[in-house]
Chain A
Amino acid sequence: MGSILSGAEAASLVRSLPGVDAVGLEARAADLGSRSIKKDSKAWAIDTAVGMIDLTTLEGADTPGKVRNLCAKAVRPDLEAPPVAAVCVYPAMAGVASEALSGSPVKVASVATGFPAGQVPLEVRLADTEAAVREGADEVDMVINRGQFLSGDLERVFHEIRAVKAACGEARLKVILETGELVTYDNVRRASFLAMHAGADFIKTSTGKVGVNATLPVTLLMMQAVRDFRAATGVQVGVKPAGGIRTTKDAVKYLVSVNEVLGEDWLSPHWFRFGASSLLNDLLMQRQKLTTGHYSGPDYVTVD
């Protein structure tokens, strides 16, 4: 998978990428966010968004019981509502999730590689990945080492992603760039291409553990990178915005952007995901509003 570049080639290619027009990018994102989606289109968007959620719980206080509850909700979020795409947990909970989700279409995603900071030795990160896969993870969400990236050691970041990809085996690899810590759009573009050249199946914005999470402009930028990457190499890579997406309105903005920037090829859970937890309840309340004709409330969805 991915390209056949060596680390040095990838690093030099990434360094030669043009800078990002920040003003243009933000204006484009604001414009895409202003579309009004109503009635049938909204109903479609809600169900599509539900089906793209990586229902996530990444807390120190996660218990097997809590993860099982979340899995039950993932399989059947509401009467008639479609199942979500995956349940995203820590490696220690991957086994529990895998057991709870067996026989369902919902995938098990596990964060790994010293999530969320990634500041642990490579051996530990690889062992973390292998453990997650052994426990039944279908997808691995890795973090890049931002310290290495920001200090300019792009080759090392590249090789680490490669090594993790190899450790994943059959599991799909999502590479978390943690855009809030990369600070600039130029860095996000560089990290996106670096991850894709290193073999990422998905590029993901954030861990949800820092102040700045997924924003529409950053996700738009990553969508453009994914589109350009396929045009150049023929390899399709998915995008996963994560953290801070809480309302149906936000989710619809992202779907509009996917459709406009990437087209229908990406409008499926295989290629686009939302990393979210509270978003699902808002989608379900909006869904209930459409089916019953009156506004719903938090009493009619689960307390997570």
Chain B
Amino acid sequence: MSERLRVKKTYKLYVGGKFPRSESGRSYPVTTPDGTELANAALASRKDVRDAVAAARKAQGPWAAQNAYLRGQILYRAAEMLEGRSGQFAAELAEAAGAEARETLGTVEEAIDRLVHYAGWTDKVASVLGGANPVSGPYFNHSKPEPLGVVGVVAPQDDPLVGLVEALAPAIATGNAVVVVASGTRPLPALSFGEVLATSDLPGGVVNVLSGKVAELAPWLASHADLNGLDLCGVEDADLAAELEAEAAGTLKVVRRPGGSGGPLDLLRQWIEYKTVWHPAGMAAGVGGGY
């Protein structure tokens, strides 16, 4: 009997809940740091960016309209699915970094813990960041955090799993939809993470993962008028980051600069806008005064 041939995995994009190849038909080899070829990943083009933003826009409204408890359950479910596949992710991270799987298992566990952390935040954000405001008049005045909309993320280059989760989870926890450009040299964990999300009851399109060249894809994200936020945490080239920020300003996006730090609450606050409403209170409402 001959030796069994190993079935190699085709790493594809994750767009709108499906796993398509790049619209351009291109792919590129992904290697270990010492040059050993691991797999071919799809090399996304600007049209994939366009499709991903369209999918995210379509998914964002219904996702934000889900109750916070359900969003938490789904993020928790993603943590469960990641836990069940921690071996695979440890191996992928190890190959990408040229390390041993036992060294990277801790990283996977950290990613799982972050997911659980943000799963807990979904139904608390409104009361922590919003609430009643004191005003000197006969009104109730409330502020309520609402999702910004669709956020483009350039994921960290050298931290392909935890960095990715840390960028994604706070954005979707508050009801945003996300288009991520995965680490260019180490995209495989991000593409596999798409499979985790796809099996976690996360509606298709809430998270979209593209693999390819940051310098090629990020400008299309930055200039896309249907994107509301842009996370540049994974842009290493300072000139490119400045250009992207300028592009983003052209269509009034909220931008998170590379190297931005902060705790979970800062990250949650990043992709939120506040709605403040005034209600006549007490006698003012009854007698029609105070207007």
Contacts and interface: CB of A to CB of B under 8 A. Distances in A.
Interface string A286-299: 00100011111111
B225 A296 contact: yes
B220 interface: yes
Q: Which of A292, A295, A298, A300 is the most central at the interface, judged by chain B CB atoms within 10 Å of its CB?
A: A295
A293 B226 contact: no
A297 B223 contact: no
Contacts of A294: 220, 223-225, 247, 250-251
A296 B223 contact: no
B57 A295 contact: no
B225 A299 contact: yes
Contacts of A298: 57, 226
Interface in B24-76: 50, 53, 57
Number of chain A interface residues as a range: 10 to 19
Contacts of B251: 294
Interface string A272-304: 000000000000000010001111111110000
13 contacts: A288-B225, A294-B220, A294-B250, A294-B251, A295-B224, A296-B225, A296-B226, A297-B53, A297-B57, A297-B225, A297-B226, A298-B57, A299-B225
B56 to A, nearest CB: 11
B226 A299 contact: yes
Nearest to B223: A294
Contacts of A300: 225
Contacts of B57: 297-298
Interface string B216-235: 00001001111100000000
Contacts of B226: 295-299
A288 B223 CA distance: 13
A248 to B, nearest CB: 12
Interface in B177-228: 220, 223-227
Q: Which of A292, A294, A296, A299 is the most central at the interface, judged by chain B CB atoms within 10 Å of its CB?
A: A294
A288 B220 CA distance: 15
B222 to A, nearest CB: 9
Contacts of A295: 50, 53, 220, 223-226
B223 A293 contact: yes
Contacts of B225: 288, 292, 294-297, 299-300
Nearest to B226: A297
Contacts of B223: 293-295
Interface string B137-164: 0000000000000000000000000000
Interface string B238-266: 00000000010011000000000000000
A295 B225 CA distance: 6
